[in-house]
Amino acid sequence: MTDDQKREAVVSNDERYDGLFFYGVTSTKIFCRPSCKSKIPLKKNMVYFENLKQAEQAGYHPCKRCRPDLLEYHPIQEIAEKIKLLLDDHYAQQKVLTMKMAQIGVTYRRMIHIFKEYYGVTPKKYYDNLRLAEARKKLINTDDTIIAIAYSVGFQSLSAFYSFFRRNMNSSPSKYRKENNHGIHS
C-alpha cells in the first residue's frame, strides 16, 4: 500500500484500514487510526506505522479521540490479514498455499469477499501481482535462467509462465529482460 493510498484512507476515514496501519502527526507526536475523525493533518506532517509498537517506539502517543491503543477484536480483519500473510509467504508454493488456505476455516468464496473488502483486490489478483513483481525483479537483477525464474515464482511450466508474463506485461520475459537490463545482462 502506497503512502498516497494510506492518506486517501485517512482522508475518507476508512475504518477498513484500522489495524492495517496507523498514521502519526509529526507536529504533535500523536498517532491515530485511519478512521479517526480528527482534523486531517497536512500531508508533509504525516508518517505511517505498520503497527502500534512501531508508533510508540518512534515516540508517538495514542490519540485520545480514536484510542488506537485499544484496538478491538476484528475477526474478519484477522482472516484478511491471515490470507495476505499466507499469500506473501507461500506464493511460490502452490500446494502449501492451498493446504494452509483450507485451514483458515471459511469457504474460498468467503475468502475472496473478505480479502477484497480489506485490500481492494481478489486474493488471486494479489497472488498474481506478487509473482509478477518477483519475476520482474529476478529478470532484471539476476542472471537466473527464465525457466529457473518461472519455477521460483511458482509456475509448473515455462509455457504457463510465458503466457502469464505476456498477458500481464505485453512482453515476453526475455524481451522484458533485454529492455530493462541496465547493463546487468550484457
| Given 32, 36, 63, 66, the catalytic residue | 32
Place of cell 508517538: 60
Report the alpha-carbon distance of residue 60 to residue 94 in Å, rounded: 41
**Amino acid sitting at position 92:** A
**Amino acid sitting at position 12:** S
The verdict on whether 63 is a catalytic residue reads no
Terminal Cα distance for the chain, rounded: 34
Cβ count near 111 (within 10 Å): 19
For helices 108-119 and 123-141, angle between their N-to-C axes, nearest 10 degrees? 70
Task: Indicate the pairing of strand 61-62 with strand 30-32.
Answer: parallel
Active site amino acids:
32
